[in-house]
Amino acid sequence: MKKDGKLYFEIDGKPCYAEEGQSIIDAATENGVFIPSLCHMEGVKPAGSCRICNVKVDGRNMTACTTPVEDGMIVENDIPELTELRKAIVETLFVSGNHHCPTCEKSGNCELQALAYRFQMLVPRFPYKFPEKGVNPRSDQIYHDRNRCILCKRCIRTVTKDGKHVFAYHGRGGEDLHVAIDEELASRLTDEEALEAMENCPVGAILKKERGFEVPIGERKYDHQPIGSEIEN
């Protein structure tokens, strides 16, 4: 099946090629197929925590960000069963935090919101929890709004240029599991690093201070095109 040293596989019947060891999701992107994801970031060790990227591999549910392509694999992605599952996950994320898009600076650039639009979520089927989580404003460079954090660990898995971890998990295993900031380190972030932290966060949990609405509403990433359309061909 291999061709020019590349693995051959299919997504929804489309012939695709991958490097040895490449994850299904990264390979899909290269082949112009969009597999929805939230916790995944190219180039960063996968966490497999959000489960949005669920695909069917030879009939079994697998997370596309943690599963490497194998030669001859048959992957199902854009099928009603998976869309429904992914939509349900997005809904659970909406109800377990406080995602008030109208007041959020990330609106239009938020991946969670964009997925909700893509899946045509109108209202979550689960009851809202309205948790009381609080905002940590105590660093000069960023706000961390825990109400919006979806615990994707993207911030935790990325480091500053000199290899420092600004974000870490706290309260592991308990109800209070949350991302904590090293406030001192966060205060010393350069503007670029703080902006990068904001961009790495798929939602509006990490916001750069003093830079709100640099891109006006209406000119943002997902204002005119659904998420994934930049990949699909």
Partner 1 sequence: MERISIDPITRLEGHGKIEIFLNDEGNVDNAYLQIPELRGFEQFSIGRPAEEMPRITNRICGVCPEAHHMAATKALDDLFNVEPSSAVKKLRELFYSAFYVTDHTVHFYALGAPDFVLGPESDPAKRNILGVIHKVGVEIGKQVIECRKRNHEIIQMLGGRGIHPVAGLPGGWSKAMTSEERDQIEEWSRQNVEFGLFSLELFDDVVLGNQEYLDLILSDAFTHETYYMGTVNEDNQANFYDGDIRVVGPDGEELVKYPPSEYPAHVAERVEPWSYLKFPYLKDVGWNGFADGKDSGVYCCTPLSRLNASDGLATPKAQEHFERFYETLGSEKINGRYQPVHHRLATHWARLIELLYSAERMVELVQDPEITSQDVRTVVTNTPDEGVGSVEAPRGTLTHHYKTDGNGILTDVNLIVGTTNNNAPIAMSIKKAAQGLIKNGEVSEGLLNMVEMAFRNYDPCMSCATHSLPGKMPLEVKIYDADGEELETHQQYVD
Interface with ligand SF4 (CB under 6 A): 149-155, 167, 179, 200-203, 205-206
Query: From the list ligand SF4, ligand FES, partner 1, none, which binds 189 (C-beta under 5 to 8 Å, kind-based)?
Result: none
The site partner of 153 among ligand FES, partner 1, ligand SF4, none (C-beta below 5 to 8 Å per kind) is ligand SF4
Where do runs of H (alpha helix) occur along 19-133? 24-30, 80-96, 111-118
Q: What are the structure tokens assigned to 44, written together?
A: 């960063």
Q: Are 8 and 16 in contact, with CB atoms under 8 Å apart?
A: yes
3-state secondary structure of 149: coil
> What gap in Å lies between CA 135 and CA 145, rounded to an integer?
4
Closer residue to partner 1, CB minimum distance, 9 or 143: 143
- Asked if 210 touches partner 1 (CB under 8 A), the answer is yes
Q: Mapping DSSP to helix (H, G, I), strand (E, B) and coil, where does residue 130 land?
A: coil
Q: Are β-strands 167-170 and 74-76 bridged in parallel, bridged antiparallel, or unpaired?
A: unpaired
CB-CB contact of 139 with 166 (8 Å): no
Residue 213 touches which of ligand FES, partner 1, ligand SF4, none (Cβ within 5-8 Å per kind) = partner 1
Return residues touching partner 1 (CB under 8 A): 102-103, 105, 128, 130, 132, 134-135, 137-138, 143, 145, 210-214, 216-218
The residue ranges that bind ligand FES (CB under 6 A) are 37-40, 48-53, 63, 65
